[in-house]
A and B are shown apart, each in its own frame.
Chain A
Amino acid sequence: MEKNAAPVKTTSLRRRSYWSKAGNIVSFLLLILLTAVVMLPIWWIFRSSLMTNAELYIYPPNFFPSRWLFSNYAETLQNFPFWQYFGNTMLIIVPSVLFGTLTATLCGYAFARLRFKGKSFWFTLCIGSMLLPNMVTLIPLYIMWTRGFGLGNTYWPLILPFLCGGGAFNIFLIRQFIRTIPRELDEAATIDGAGHMRILFQIIVPAIKPAMIVVALFIFVLLWNDLLQQTVYINSPDKFTIAIGLSMFKSGLKADWVRIMCATCLAFLPGIVIYLIGQKSFVEGIVMSGMKN
C-alpha cells in the first residue's frame, strides 16, 4: 500500500478507468431498459391488434397473443379503407415534399450566397417567422383559401404553402449547410462561365443532399402529424387522409379495441417503412446538418 509515489498514481488512474468502465456498463444497461420502455407501447398496440376481443380482456393480460390473428387486419380493412386514405395522404405529401424541398433550396441558396438589396431585412423576417405559431394564422388562411379562392374540400390549401419556401426553418437549415461549402468551388465555376443557377444545381445541390433529405423528412413529418388543418379543409369521406380517417374510425367504434388497434398499426406502417428505407440518411443527416452555427 505505502510504497513510493509513482505506483500510487497509476493505481488511482487505473481505479478511475475501472469506475468509468463500470459507469459505461451501467449506462448501457440503462439504455437497454429505456429501449424496452419506449418500445413497449408499440409492441402492446401491435399485440392487441392480433388478439380476439375475448383475449384482449383477460386479466392478467398476455404479453404475446395465443394465436396471431392476422385475419383481424382483413376484417378491419373492410370498414377502414386504409389504402384509399393512404393514397389521399400521399396526394398531399408527395407534391408538398417535392415543392417544399425545391423552394427551400432556392431560398436558402439566395440567402447563403447571393448579394442583393434588403437581404438582411428579409432574412430577419424569415427567421422571425420561426417564432410565429402557425395555428394563429389558421382562421385568416381558412377564409382566404375557402372563400377567396374557393378551394374548400380540396388538398390545395395543404399543398400550396409548400410552394412558398417550405417553412422558415427549412430555408435556414439549407442556408446554414450551404455556408459550410467552400466558396472557392463556386468561384472556380464562375470563372469557367457557369451562371448562378448552374452553380446551384451542379455544385451546391450535390453537396447539400443530406440537408435536402432532412428537409424532405421534416415536411413529411409535419404533414403526417397534422390533424387540425386536414380536419378544417377536408370534409367529404372519400377525401379523408389517414389521420382524419383513423380518428373518425375510432369515434365510430367507441370500444372495439381490436379493430381500432389494427387501424392504428396500419397508420403506423407507412412511416415505419419510409423510415427503414431512409434511416441512415435521416438521422445522420440531422446530426450532420443539425445546428451548424
Chain B
Amino acid sequence: MSKAMSKKKSIKTSPGAKKEARVAYLCLIPAFIGLTVLTYGPLLAVFIIGFFKWKGLSTPHFIGLQNYIRLFTEDPYFLDSIKVTVWFSILAVVGTMVYSLIIAMLLNMKIPARGFFRAVFYLPYILPAAAVYIGWSWLYETNFGLFNYLLNQIGIKNVMFLSDSSLAVPSLAIIAIWLSGNIIVIFLAGLQNVPGVYHEAAQIDGANGFQRFFHVTLPCMTPIIFYNLLMCLITNLQVVTPALALTNGGPGNSTMFLTYLMYRYAFKSNQLGYASAISFVIFLLIAAFTTVLFATSKSWIFYEGGND
C-alpha cells in the first residue's frame, strides 16, 4: 500500500516533469504510429471495407451486409473453413500445452547436459516454418515415408496422412506441436519461479511427486498456463503457412483454413471487400475465444498472495 502511494508522488508541472514527458513522447513516437496506423487503424478499415464491393482496381461501392450474407449463405468454403480452423486450433493448442508442459517439467530436473536437452527441444522453433512443413511432407509420404514404415513395424497398414481429408488436419497439428519450442521455454521460466519452499513444505508433509505436481506446481503455474494458452490460441486460429506452403487447402477442402481462404479471395481473385469480411470474421472468432478464456480465467488462475 505505502509503496503504491510513494510511487504516485509529485506529478506536477515542474520544468523537469515537462521535459520528462517530452522525452517520453519522443521515445513513444514509433509506438504511437504503430498502434494507430498499423494496428487499430487497419482493424477499423477492415471493418469498413467489409461493407463494400471492391474488385481489384475498380472503385469500391457500398453494399451493406451483402458480403456477410454471401459468406453465410452462398460461400462453398466458408462454413467448413471455420470448422477446419477451429478443429486444427483445438488439436494444436491442447497438444502443444500438454507436450510443452511435460517437456518443461523434464527439462527442469537436475539432469546432466541440461543445455543440450534444452537446445534440442527449442531447435524446431527457429527453423523456417515453410521448410518444416515441406520437410515433414516427405516423412508423411504414403508409400516411402518414415512414419508409415514405423507404423508397418507395429502392424498398421499404410496411412494416407496428408492425402486423406480426415487425417490432414491432425497430421498438420502434430507438426505445429513439434514447433512449440518457445512455449516450452516460457513454461521452463515459470517452473523456475515456483518457490522452492512450497515444494519443501509439501515434501515434509509427505506429499508424493504426483501430489506435489497437482497441488503445488500446477496451481503456481496457472498464470503462465493462461498466458501460453492465450497466445497459442491466437496464433493457431490464424494458421495459414501449412496451407500456403504445402496443401493449398486440400485434399478436398480439408485444410482450407480461414486465413488461407481470406488470402485466396483477396490475392488470387482480387475480391478485397469480400476478403475483408472474412478477416473481420477471423477477428470476431478469435475475440470470442479470447473472451471465453478471460471469463473463465478467474475461476482457475491462482495468484500468489490471495485471489483478489
Contacts and interface: CB of A to CB of B under 8 A. Distances in A.
Interface of A: 16, 19-20, 23-24, 27-28, 30-31, 34-35, 38-42, 44-45, 48, 56-57, 59-61, 103, 106-107, 109-111, 114-117, 119, 122, 125-126, 129-144, 161, 163-165, 171, 195-197, 217, 220-221, 224-225, 227-228, 231-232, 242-243, 246-247, 250, 257, 260-261, 264, 267-268, 271-272, 274-275, 279-280, 282-283, 286-288, 290-291, 293
Range class of the B interface residue count? 35 or more
A163 B30 contact: yes
Contact of B120 (A20, A30, A38, A274): A38
A193 to B, nearest CB: 12
Contacts of A290: 185-186, 188-190
A116 B139 contact: no
B238 A134 contact: yes
B39 A228 contact: no
B86 interface: no
B178 A287 contact: no
B126 A137 contact: no
Contacts of A126: 31, 35
A137 B280 CA distance: 9
Interface stretch (B62-70, B71-79, B129-137, B161-169): B129-137
Given A129-B35, A225-B128, A283-B185, A272 B123 contact: yes
Contact of B20 (A31, A133, A135, A196): A196
B119 A283 contact: yes
A227 B130 contact: yes
B198 interface: no
A102 to B, nearest CB: 9
Contact of B40 (A19, A107, A129, A224): A129
B236 to A, nearest CB: 11
Contact of B189 (A34, A224, A260, A291): A291
A140 B245 contact: no
A138 B279 contact: yes
A39 B20 contact: no
A195 B27 CA distance: 14
Interface of B: 11, 17, 19-21, 23-25, 27-28, 30-35, 37-43, 45-46, 49, 103, 106-107, 109-111, 115, 117-131, 134-136, 138-139, 141, 144, 146, 149, 178, 182, 185-186, 188-190, 192-193, 208-209, 223-224, 227, 230-231, 234, 237-238, 240-241, 244-246, 259, 262-263, 266-267, 272, 275-276, 279-280, 282-283, 286-287, 290
Enumerate the 10 nearest inter-chain pairs by beta-carbon distance, A residue then B residue, closest first.
Answer: A164-B34, A290-B189, A137-B42, A140-B45, A267-B131, A114-B24, A116-B21, A140-B42, A110-B27, A116-B24
Contacts of A161: 34, 38
Contacts of B224: 291
A287 B42 CA distance: 34
Contacts of A171: 31
Given A103-B30, A110-B24, A139 B241 contact: no
